[in-house]
């Protein structure tokens, strides 16, 4: 099975952080954001990936290839003009054709029972199956389905749907869909493809399930969800690393082995020090993320913030 990570957006909601680093590759516990979902999908049976790129494509390619190494084959498509969630998939058709494929967004971490979702998709003989989670926040648009899983509408248009969930950005798709997406022009996979297909009775389904969904849309989302990962021991590297004698570490915390922590520093609770980050003597970091190359000066306190080499973003 092949996979696609949608990574061509500008990341405007993540400003000012995305001025320095494209959203798909902002650092999250020592690795680019989008590789968390890539690794999950690889464990679930996805053998290769394609990413569509627009904003700082070379930087994203470098970060992804440094992570991928020999783990999994990765290819890229470049969009001089952003093609959207539909056009981007159509533009990658040469990489995706040949069998069932899966797509996911590059700005979130998603985990669920993929085997059950795939079995549902195949049992329903679906053209596309959107993975849905129960709606717990008003910020998400409802996707309406029948008890059978058939999608009937989006947002205020429920059709005859009785159940709803929000779209996680993960979908399982048959290659026949590639011929139904407008090629070489921008399009939205929901508005321009699925809504017209649903009107014709095409088998477009929603698989309503539970799992982990972490969206890194805004700086506050980024800080909150990065810290939340510290409570998932199976998803983080051993702790601590890179510290010196005389450093006080208050869990939970994550310190890159390549970070520099001076004696007298206090790290935590809820602190992340990324690669080549530095915390000087007497400084305190709590409920904060220190980016690669950023330095907390002696005696300084960074709390409820993200510190990059160029700015501090308080949230």
* Mean of pLDDT values over 228-239: 68
pLDDT digits (tens, 9 = 90+) for 175-221: 999 999 988 899 999 999 999 999 999 999 999 999 999 999 999 99
pLDDT computed for residue 71 by the predictor: 87
Delineate the domains of the chain, giving CATH numbers in brackets: 2-215 (3.90.550.10), 237-314 (2.160.10.10)
Q: Would the pLDDT of 268 be above 60?
A: yes
**Residue 180 · residue 198 · CB < 8 Å:** no
DSSP 150: B
**Residue 124 · residue 135 · CB < 8 Å:** no
- From CA 57, how far away is CA 291, in angstroms rounded? 20
**Residue 117 · residue 148 · CB < 8 Å:** no
pLDDT digits (tens, 9 = 90+) for 102-114: 999 999 999 999 9
Q: Would the pLDDT of 304 be above 80?
A: yes
Q: Would the pLDDT of 236 be above 70?
A: no
DSSP 96: H
**Residue 287 · residue 271 · CB < 8 Å:** yes
Inter-CA distances, 36 with 28, 67, 152, 163, 247, Å:
9, 11, 31, 29, 30
- From CA 240, how far away is CA 232, in angstroms rounded? 15
pLDDT computed for residue 70 by the predictor: 81
* C-alpha triplet 98, 44, 190: angle, nearest 5°: 60
pLDDT computed for residue 244 by the predictor: 63
pLDDT digits (tens, 9 = 90+) for 126-177: 999 999 999 987 789 999 999 999 999 999 999 999 999 999 999 999 999 9
Inter-CA distances, 313 with 252, 263, 310, Å:
21, 26, 10
pLDDT digits (tens, 9 = 90+) for 51-109: 999 989 999 999 999 999 888 999 999 999 999 999 999 999 999 999 999 999 999 99
* Mean of pLDDT values over 266-287: 97
- Strand 248-249 and strand 142-145: the pairing is unpaired
- From CA 178, how far away is CA 102, in angstroms rounded? 12
DSSP 297: P
| CB neighbour list of residue 198: distance below 8 Å, 6 or more residues apart | 151, 152, 153, 159, 204
* Mean of pLDDT values over 19-47: 96
**Residue 110 · residue 132 · CB < 8 Å:** no
| CB neighbour list of residue 264: distance below 8 Å, 6 or more residues apart | 246, 247, 281, 282
The mean of the pLDDT values for the chain is 94
Closest CA to 4 of 151, 156, 189, 147: 189
Closest CA to 24 of 15, 13, 33: 33
pLDDT computed for residue 94 by the predictor: 95
Largest CA distance in the chain: 68
pTM greater than 0.85? yes
- Strand 271-273 and strand 253-255: the pairing is parallel
């Amino acid at each position: 099975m092949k996979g696609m990570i949608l990574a061509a957006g500008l990341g405007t909601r993540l400003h000012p952080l995305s001025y320095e680093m494209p959203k798909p590759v902002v650092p999250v516990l020592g690795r680019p954001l989008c590789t968390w979902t890539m690794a999950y999908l690889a464990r679930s049976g996805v053998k290769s990936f394609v990413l569509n790129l627009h904003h700082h494509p070379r930087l994203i390619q470098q970060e992804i290839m440094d992570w991928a190494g020999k783990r999994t084959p990765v290819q890229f498509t470049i969009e001089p003009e952003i093609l959207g969630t539909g056009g981007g998939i159509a533009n990658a058709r040469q990489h995706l054709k040949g069998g069932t494929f899966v797509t996911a967004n590059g700005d979130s971490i998603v985990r669920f029972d993929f085997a059950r979702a795939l079995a549902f998709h195949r049992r329903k003989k679906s053209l596309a199956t959107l993975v849905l989670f129960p709606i717990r926040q008003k910020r998400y648009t409802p996707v309406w389905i029948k008890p059978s899983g058939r999608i009937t509408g989006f947002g205020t248009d429920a059709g005859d749907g009785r159940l709803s969930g929000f779209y996680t950005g993960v979908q399982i798709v048959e290659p026949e869909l590639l011929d139904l997406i407008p090629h070489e022009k921008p399009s939205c996979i929901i508005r321009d493809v699925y809504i017209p297909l649903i009107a014709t009775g095409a088998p477009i389904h929603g698989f309503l399930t539970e799992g982990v969904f972490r969206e890194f849309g805004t700086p506050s989302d980024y800080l909150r969800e990065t810290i939340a990962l510290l409570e998932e021991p199976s998803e983080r590297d051993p702790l601590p690393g890179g510290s010196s004698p005389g450093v006080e570490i208050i869990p939970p915390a994550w310190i890159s082995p390549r970070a520099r922590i001076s004696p007298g520093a206090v790290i935590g609770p809820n602190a992340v020090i990324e690669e080549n980050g530095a915390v000087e003597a007497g400084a305190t970091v709590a409920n904060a993320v220190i980016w690669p190359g950023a330095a907390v000066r002696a005696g300084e306190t960074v709390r409820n913030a993200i510190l990059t080499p160029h700015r501090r973003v308080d949230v």
